[in-house]
Amino acid sequence: MNARLLTRVALAAVLSLTAWTATAQERPNILLIMADDLGWGDVGYNGAEIRTPTIDRLAAEGVRLERYYTHPSCTPTRAAFYSGKRAVNLGMIVPIAPWEDFGLPPEEPTLPQYLKEAGYTTWLVGKWHLGHNYRDQHPLNRGYDHFYGTNSGEINYYTHALNRVPDWERNGEALDEDGYVTHLLRDEAVELIESYDSDAPWFMHLSFTAPHTPLQAPEESVQAYADIADFNRRRLAAMMTEMDSAIADVLAAVADRPDSDNTLIVFVSDNGGQLMAGSVNAPLRGNKMSLYEGGIRVPALLHWPARLEGGRSVSAVATVYDWLPTLLSLAGHPGVDDSDLAGIDLWPTIERAVEPQRDEPIVITSASPTGPRMAVIEDGWKLIRSLRPAPDTPGEFSVELFNLLDDPFETSDLAASEPERTARMLAYLATIRVAPVLGGTPPPANYDGATGPEIEPDDRPPIYPAVADSVTERPAGR
């Protein structure tokens, strides 16, 4: 048994003697709000021209994670969030396409499953994007007591359809309802919070689709940004303000509860912004899907005045796969005995500025037409390894090395001038277990995409009814 696993087992033993005696009041309610494709420069507190007063207030009163890293796209980040593991170890380095049937491996326990073990009520409101074809991929079968929203990665904000096929449900029942998606998610979250009358603590993942494409918002919100000349930026700004207003209403519902002082609020993005869709990652370099800082370093904050001294920022590295061990420690769960767990409990760092102790460097993975790309972050340095696109150099790598502490905007590649460090970090990447990559397949010949025929409401069976009778069980071997 390696030292890392021994440490986890010992931690679990200690927690099991103490944490399970905690009362529901001592264990916080947890509201984790996740924006979709939100760039570093898309929030007011990072200098954006976009009006986000609620998020800005949470940042001013809370604790900001200034070096918080995700994977550079939707599905990989969500896989890491729910499992506490690197996406590359799960084979999930590309977003799930509508025609694909893979998902978070069914044998992987999830954060809401662990929280239920600790006595929590669990709710997912919004985007799932971790599998849509089989019953065992549905949120209700992955630890959630309640699910309202979309299984896929992108839907129309008014028709609630993906490629003209509806993807909108509550607890496995397809819904045909009017409304702007951001408003509907707000209303569902408020209703759940206001009507909850159990003594058990609750966990809500409020997973907005905004500001992911399509760029749609109420026209009056778009007109309020008439001073922004860029067409896409103007619409993204309107979507952000609508989301910010929705968050304000949800927080008001939390504030009205008698246990409001015992509620932790977390706000994060799932990855960097899409520049072509009007997002801004500046001054960070890069775009969604890239391993430069703009694709993987995103806004993140925590707000809990009763426990956290506000108005602070944490400069230590934090990652999306740290949430599972961090939230489980707050929830009184005895810990996870799994040597593949990559995340660490960051609560001492967040609460008391204790320097985090990581056994291994941060590893982030993405995909490209030429094969997997990997980045390793350690001691303020980042190395990016990519397969060369040239057909005459099969299997060769292009390598970049950056000193993030001196050069956070990645302007100077130091791979040639730091050969020993480069070789050492490359050698570490060579030790990483890379699971077979799931997905990344082209659409089938009969896939008509968004050009399909209009479908009357009564004739449109949902493409993602994962617990409905029309969905098959998983075939053997899949």
**Residue 22: pLDDT over 80:** no
Do 328 and 11 form a contact (C-beta atoms < 8 A)?
no
- The gap from C-alpha 432 to its chain's centroid, in whole angstroms, comes to 22
- Within 10 Å of residue 394's Cβ, how many Cβ atoms? 10
Q: Choosing from 129, 138, 303, 333, which is the catalytic residue?
A: 129
State yes or no: is 129 an active-site residue.
Answer: yes
**Residue 452: pLDDT over 80:** no
CA distance 396 to 74: 28
Do the domains 27-352 and 362-429 sit in the same CATH topology, yes or no? no
List, for residues 239-297, the tens digit of each pLDDT value.
999 999 999 999 999 999 999 999 999 999 999 999 999 999 999 999 999 999 999 99
Give residue limits of the domains in the chain: 27-352, 362-429
Residue 118 CA: distances (Å) to CA of 72, 111, 202: 31, 11, 11
Q: Which residue(s) pair with 205 in the sheet?
A: 32, 124
**For 27-352, CATH number?**
3.40.720.10
- pLDDT confidence band for 395 (50 / 70 / 90): low
* Prediction pTM value: 0.89
Report the share of the chain in percent with pLDDT over 70.
86
Indicate the residue type of 244. Answer: D
| Helices assigned H by DSSP within 387-438 | 419-429
- Within 10 Å of residue 211's Cβ, how many Cβ atoms? 31
353 Cβ contact partners less than 8 Å away, ≥ 6 residues apart: 314
List, for residues 72-122, the tens digit of each pLDDT value.
999 999 999 999 999 999 999 999 988 888 899 999 999 999 999 999 999
Cα-based torsion angle of the residue sequence 65, 66, 70, 74 in order, rounded to the nearest 10 degrees: 80
Q: Two tokens at 346?
A: 């960051």
The DSSP code for 124 is E
Q: In the CATH hierarchy, which top-level class contains the domain 362-429? A: alpha beta
Determine the pLDDT at residue 172.
86
Q: Choosing from 74, 132, 138, 303, which is the catalytic residue?
A: 74
Tell me the average pLDDT across 438-461: 56
Tell me which residue has tokens 């931690």: 11
Tell me whether strands 29-35 and 263-269 are parallel, antiparallel or unpaired: parallel
Do 138 and 118 form a contact (C-beta atoms < 8 A)?
no
Tell me the average pLDDT across 361-389: 87
- pLDDT confidence band for 14 (50 / 70 / 90): very low
State yes or no: is 71 an active-site residue.
Answer: no
